[in-house]
Amino acid sequence: MEAKTSRFTLQQELWELVLVAIGAVPGAVLRWQLGLHLGEKDLVANVVGALVLGLLAGCPSRPRRQLLLGIGFCGSLTTFSSWMVNSVELIASGQWVEALGLIGLTLGLGVGAAALGFWVARFRFRP
């Protein structure tokens, strides 16, 4: 019985890994394309990711959708570390106002996008 359970768990984990990977590819490609075509790619990527995660949070729970879009797509699209490094670089170059502006703008737009996504999904999927 234990071998059957272990095999089922392994198969389930492999399927979950595949879902994350499938979602990660378009997220990474979109982030790359934003970098080619926009100056401030991190802001756009983070706000779009916040909107998508807000939509997911407002929808009825679907674990596979969370793996595909939440962890896979948004995980490869959004970037906390680049945002922090950009902020530190601005501070290090004496551009405190710009750094605080970047931090405030990203937080404000990100929270706003997440809230918008959440409430749109809640309105759409209400009973």
Q: Tens-of-pLDDT digits for all 127 residues of the chain? A: 455 667 678 889 999 999 999 999 999 999 999 988 887 789 999 999 999 999 999 998 889 999 999 999 999 999 999 999 999 999 999 999 999 999 999 999 999 999 999 999 999 887 6
Q: From CA 46, how far away is CA 86, in angstroms rounded?
A: 13
Tokens of residue 47, six digits: 């706000």
Residue for token pair 């170059």: 93
State the amino acid at position 28 in one-letter form: A
pLDDT at 61: 83
**pTM for the full predicted model:** 0.86
> What confidence score (pLDDT) does residue 5 get?
64
- How is residue 8 written in tokens? 């089922």
Nearest to 91 by CA among 79, 81, 101: 101
